[in-house]
Structures are given as structure tokens and as C-alpha cells.
Amino acid sequence: MKPLVFGIFQYIAPNGTVGSAWQHPSDTSHEYLTIAHWTKLAQKFESAGLDFLFLADSYGFPALDGELLEAAVREGRGIPQGDPMPIVTAMAAVTEKLGFILTTSTTVEAPAANARRFATLDHFTAGRIGWNIVTGSSGATAAALMGKDLIAHDVRYDMADDYVDVCLKLWEGSWSDDALVVDKAAGVYADPAGVRMIDHDGPYYRAHGILNLPPSPQRTPLLVQAGASGRGRDFAGRNAEAVFVAGGVPSVVAANVAGVRASAVAAGRAADSVKLLVGALFITAPTHEEAVAKHTEMLAMSTNEGAAAIYAGNTGIDLLALDPDLPLAQTSTEMGQSNVERYLAKDGTPAPLVRDILENFRTTGINGSVFVGTPEEVVDALEEFVRATDVDGFLVQPHLTPGTYDDFIELVLPVLRERGLAPGEYRGSTLREQLFGEGRSRLPESHRGHDFAWAGTTGGDSAG
């Protein structure tokens, strides 16, 4: 089996994937609003040789019908949540190789503002930035907060395609590679022949102007996507170089993975041009009994009310208000669909009942896969999961901070390396090189963003 990708999943908040782990005596995630908390973590992840730190984000929060869900506030689940952008330069300053993948939603800011911020960060991190493109979990509250109406699910993805076009044109097409001169003696900062306006007149967004920055090491940040609904997978096939998928039942994950690879092929790209990474919790200890005890302790910190609040925030569906002995009505939601599709009848299996859905969500969380056992047991299960699903790697979800990561680094990673499943050292210097190999800092030619590149470097002379 080829080496896998391993990223760390975090968000600017007290931790917990399954339950409210922040309340554990050893957990330090309540320090999430201090810079030192993050710089220490980033150094830990880099010295372990992990690929990247992913910071999830959403402007949404758990609420239903305009009312806050009290359990979310009380248990620190989805509320509070800080902006991931400002901490990245502090972490970049104390690391050299670790990548950073940051989430922004295409429903919040103008595309040009987003493009400029990511370009600036790609410079400040020397090419270690990725953009997790989402149309936004908890869409209803996010829209209301921004003074907007909730846009229909599939339209959000149509808009996201158009949004990404604007960003790609700015990153790929506004400056030539040799425009920057910085000749002090001649007084020439940049060559005017190498900087030009881009034009975009799309179905949802218009933009006329420049990216007001010279090209960054990657130009376009590594493009990542999360959201595995049918329309989300189409979007991923066109745009994403890495996709975060939820874990859970291997046959369901395998279908998601195959769906994304098929839509990449339909977009003229190779099936393996997209890295599929699955969110998973690793609860491990030197002995099986200790690992099981840690798992039991984790479940004791997870309440039905907290789980239902997270589920409601993500899907708009209140599991506590439904008849526990019926399945989810197969009605669609205009909020996030992955966590609804997850619990519908499929492959001849009947749809689970609401009481089972709640228990499954309480014990496995939003991303679904929990591996419990000794390092060898966990790696055996992980290998089996990879074989069954064709995923390319994992996002190590937060439970105890830093305990769960220490266990992963000290116990699991050595077994992975012994079996050749985790790379031993960093490849190249940019995030794209780390995932795709040295010399591959820029978008590949098969990606549609390449068509927007400056004439002479690639695909055509028109940026418009």
C-alpha cells in the first residue's frame, strides 16, 4: 500500500469531535484563544512530520427556527468558534514545512477579497496554504447573520463554481511570472507589461481588476473541498485537489470516493488527481483495555442534547423532536446534505430509526469513523479501511488536546512508518509538493484553473 496523507483536524474552539472533550482535566483546548496554544501545537505536528494542519470554520452555529440551542452554548459545541485566519502567520513563523489548510465559505465574502487574503497567506507561509472551499455548514444561521436569505443547496454550489472562477483568474492570470523586477538602481518595481486586469462576468459574480500582489509560490492555494452531497461531489471533481470526506460505513465512504473520482474524470482529470481524506478519531493506548477505557471515558462526555444540537446546526433537522421509532423522513433539506444522506436507506439496508441515528451521531460524531485499540489494532483497521474505500489518507480529528495527538504521534505513527504507510520526511517545500511530489508547486495542467494562466506560461492568452 502506498504512503498515506495525514493531516490534523482542528478549529478555533474548545475541542470535541464526539462530545465535549474540553472538560477533561488533561485537555488544554480551552486555551484556544492564546497564540502559544497554536504555536506549540504546530511545532508538535511538524516535528512529527505530519502533512498539514486543517482549521475548519463556519459562520453558522447550532440554532433552530431562529432560537439558539441551549445545549450547544452550555456544552461548548459549535459555540464559540473563532476565525482561523489570524493565527496562521504565528504558526508559520515557528515552522518550515507544515502545511495549513483554512476554510472559508463561498457564501460570505466577495471572491476577490478571499483571493487576496489567500494569496497574501501563500506568500507569508512560503507556499504552505490550502483553501478548504465550503458552501457553509449551518447555512441558515450563517445566512441570517450576514443579513441574507438561505440560498438553495444546489444553487450554492453553482455560485461556488462561479466564485472559484474569479479567484482562479486573479491567482493564475493577473501577473506574469516575471513581472516582479525590484530593480532599485533603475527604480523599477514591476514591469507594467506583466500585470493586467482580469474580467469576469459570470452568472453570479462580476469582477474587473487585478490581484494586487505578485504571484505567490503556489499562485493558487491547494484547492480542497468538504461536503459530499451529490452536487458537492460534482463541484469537487471540477475544482478540488483534495477532498475531505466523512468516515463511517466503508461501503458508503467507498461510494463517495468513487463518486468524486468519477466526477474528476468527467472534468478531464485523472482519477488520482484528487486526494480523498477521511475524518477519523484514533483512540489508542499501549494495551487494548486502556484504549477501550479511553473510549468509554470519551463517550461519557457526549450527551444526546449536545449531539442533537450539532446535528441540527448542520442539517436543520431536530432529532429530539422526531418520533424516535421512525426513520428520517426522506425529505430534502436546503442545509448540509451529507449528514442526511448518511442516514437514508441504501444498498438494500433499511433506513435507521431516529433513536439509532441519534446514538450513532452521539458516539461517532459528525465525521463518522472511530478507531479504538492498540497501535497495531488501529493500524490493521486503518489498512482494512483504506483497502475497502480507496481513500488516500486521514484527518486526525480532535478528542483530547494534546493527548490524542500525542498518542497518535508516539504510538500510531511509528507503526504506520514501519509498514511504509506514512512518509518519513517532507517532500518539497510547498503544500502542493508535499501532497503531489517535488516540482509540483503550481496547479497541474489538467486543472481548469490552468486555462486562466498568463499567456506563455500555459493554456492560452486570455484571462477573461
Ligand X SMILES: Cc1cc2nc3c(=O)[nH]c(=O)nc-3n(C[C@H](O)[C@H](O)[C@H](O)COP(=O)(O)O)c2cc1C
Binding-site ranges for ligand X (CB under 6 A) = 56-58, 103, 105, 132, 134-137, 153, 226-229, 232, 244-246, 279, 314, 336-338, 367, 395
Nearer to ligand X among residue 7 and residue 214 (C-beta): 7
CB of 206 to ligand X, least distance (A): 25
Q: What is the 3-state composition of the chain as percent helix, strand, coil, each rounded to the nearest 5?
A: 40, 15, 40
To ligand X, the closest distance from the beta carbon of 442 in angstroms equals 25
How far apart, in whole angstroms, are the C-alpha atoms of residue 131 and residue 101?
A: 6
Q: How far is the CB of 176 from ligand X (least distance, A)?
A: 34
CB of 60 to ligand X, least distance (A): 7
Q: Is 380 marked within a binding site?
A: no
How far apart (Å, rounded) are the C-alpha atoms in residues 413 and 421?
Answer: 9
Helix count (H) and strand count (E) of the chain? 16, 15
Separation of alpha carbons 218 and 379, rounded Å: 33
Taking the least distance from each CB to ligand X, the nearer of 107 and 174 is 107
Which neighbouring-strand residues pair with 280? 369, 396
Q: How far is the CB of 401 from ligand X (least distance, A)?
A: 17
Q: Is 208 annotated as a binding residue?
A: no
Q: Which is nearer to ligand X, 59 or 454 (CB)?
A: 59
The helix or strand, by DSSP H or E, that contains position 10, with its residue range, turns out to be strand 5-10
Q: Which CB atom, from 61 or from 175, has the smaller least distance to ligand X?
A: 61
Residue type, 36: A
Q: How far is the CB of 95 from ligand X (least distance, A)?
A: 21
Beta strand 180-183 pairing with 188-190: antiparallel
Q: Is 57 annotated as a binding residue?
A: yes
Query: Is the CB of residue 225 less than 8 Å from the CB of residue 274?
Result: no
229 marked as part of a ligand binding site: yes
Q: Which is nearer to ligand X, 113 or 197 (CB)?
A: 113
Q: Is 153 annotated as a binding residue?
A: yes
In whole angstroms, the minimum distance from the beta carbon of 77 to ligand X comes to 14
Question: Under DSSP, is residue 91 helix (H, G, I), strand (E, B) or coil?
Answer: helix
- In the complex with ligand X, the residue whose CB is nearer, 227 or 423, is 227
Query: Mapping DSSP to helix (H, G, I), strand (E, B) and coil, where does residue 399 land?
Result: coil
Q: Which is nearer to ligand X, 166 or 245 (CB)?
A: 245
Close Cβ partners of 14 (under 8 Å, ≥ 6 residues apart): 20, 22, 29, 30, 32, 76, 80
Give me the helices (H) in 228-287, please: 230-239, 250-266
Q: What is the DSSP track for 119-158?
A: HHHHHHTTS-EEEEEES-SSHHHHHHHTT-PPPPHHHHHH
Binding residues for FMN: 57, 103, 153, 157, 229
Binding residues: 57, 103, 153, 157, 229
